[in-house]
Amino acid sequence: MANLNDMSRLHTNDLEIRATEAVQRHLSRHVVASKSVSQRKLDFEHSRPRWLREMGAEATGVFFYVFPGIASVASFTLNLANPAGVAAFGSSFQIGWAFGIGIAFAIITCAPTSGGHFNPAITICFAIWQGFPWKKVPHYIFAQVFGAFIAGLLLMGMYWEQIAAFKAETIAKGEPLIFNGGPASILCTFPAMGQTNLGYLFFIEFFVDSFIGIVIWASLDPANPFISPVSAPFVIGMAYASMVWGFADISISTNLARDLGTRIVAAIFFGGKAFTYRHYSWIALLVNIPATIFATGFYELLMRDSLQKIGKGHAVHENGEEGLRRHMTNTGYMETGMTNAVRQDADSKVNGANEY
């Protein structure tokens, strides 16, 4: 079983789902008998480079999260002048749902392979707090940005006729292509005309990213009695959606990869001003990292219960049973049956939380 645990994790810092064990316990319900797995298929899957699978999963996950969101933005922005109006083509409420459900789909689809980071800030935080290998950080981040870039390109292709008409109409009015509500804003965030205080925009971005970061870290905590692997994707998606509903009119980015990938596409089609407009892009691109480090640090330092995590079997003491025994002795627990005592303590906390 230990080998199966090692195989299921492979240093991806997944959602603590322990996919291999889950598959073993799963009750199959097949309408048609499943096909046997050939040795050729097993050999092929074994030969695939792990780094390539992880990069592919991260890029695909970001695509799954970004594309529904920006497609919803396109549907809303391009049809503001339509006689049917907002009632038919959405609002910020629709956009929030599109991003939130996209995140849930991304986690469900790709997290078993790569761990489901989908955000450079989350990857960096896993490296800081959870032992994710630093050598994997660069190629994870590259894959995440690439996934958003492909989402932006595909959107431009699928909406090209409407976007081209919107672009021509904007130019005919003598308006720039890059502003909040303009053609380029379909792909990435720009401040509104009256938003000139960069400090204020920095504060909003920092708060939003910190809020989402704490929810993510709490959702991934195996000692959290209120979260299961089934609910985690939707809780994380709802955290993102709630921030879109609350602050989208003020301008938020929330993810370096999501913003950089699509901003590159905006620069290709609408000009390099996508990176220089009102000196805002550095806020959209960079604030997410320190904000998420702050949020996860806040959770690690104030709310993490590692003893309960050990008791639930999701971690071990770095010095094994002997190290755990010394800790339990120093903190007043009984010296005998240390692991069982920890587990009983964890169970009592869960029962208390359920009663609450």
Q: Could you tell me if 73 and 99 are in contact, meaning their C-beta atoms sit under 8 angstroms apart?
A: no
Instruction: Dig out the tokens for 12 from the structure.
Output: 């991806």
All residues at 6 or more sequence positions from 140 whose CB lies less than 8 Å from its CB, including other chains:
54, 55, 58, 114, 117, 120, 123
Q: How far apart are CA 64 and CA 68, in angstroms?
A: 7
- pLDDT reported for residue 335: 45
3-state secondary structure of 119: coil
CB count, 10 Å around CB of 323? 12
- Report mean pLDDT in 10-residue bins for the chain, 356 residues: 51 54 52 77 91 96 95 88 58 90 95 94 95 95 97 96 92 90 92 87 95 95 88 94 88 92 96 92 94 96 81 74 76 56 56 51
**pLDDT confidence of residue 11:** 60
CB neighbourhood size of 96 (10 A): 22
Q: Directed axis angle between helix 198-219 and helix 288-302, to 10°? A: 40
Q: How far apart are CA 162 and CA 158, in angstroms?
A: 9
* pLDDT of the residue at 319: 74
Where do the H-state alpha helices sit in 91-231? 92-114, 120-129, 137-158, 160-172, 198-219
Q: How far apart are CA 62 and CA 39, in angstroms?
A: 32
Would you state the pLDDT for residue 322? 77
| Residue 122: Cβ-neighbour burial (10 angstroms; 0-12, 13-18, 19+) | buried
Query: What pLDDT sits at residue 71?
Result: 94
> Based on C-alpha coordinates, what's the Rg of the chain?
23
Cα→Cα distances 234→26, 45, 103, 238, 241, Å: 21, 30, 8, 6, 10
**Cα gap 349→311, rounded to integer Å:** 11
Contact 295, 214 (CB under 8 A): yes
Residue carrying the six token digits 């392979």: 113
Q: What is the DSSP letter of 179?
A: S
Query: Which residues, 6+ apart, have CB-to-CB distance to 151 below 8 Å?
Result: 62, 63, 66, 67, 70, 261, 262
- Cα 282 to Cα 114: distance, rounded to the nearest angstrom: 28
Assess contact for 13 and 115: CB atoms under 8 A. yes
From the number of C-beta atoms within 10 Å of its C-beta (0-12, 13-18, 19+), residue 62 rates as: buried
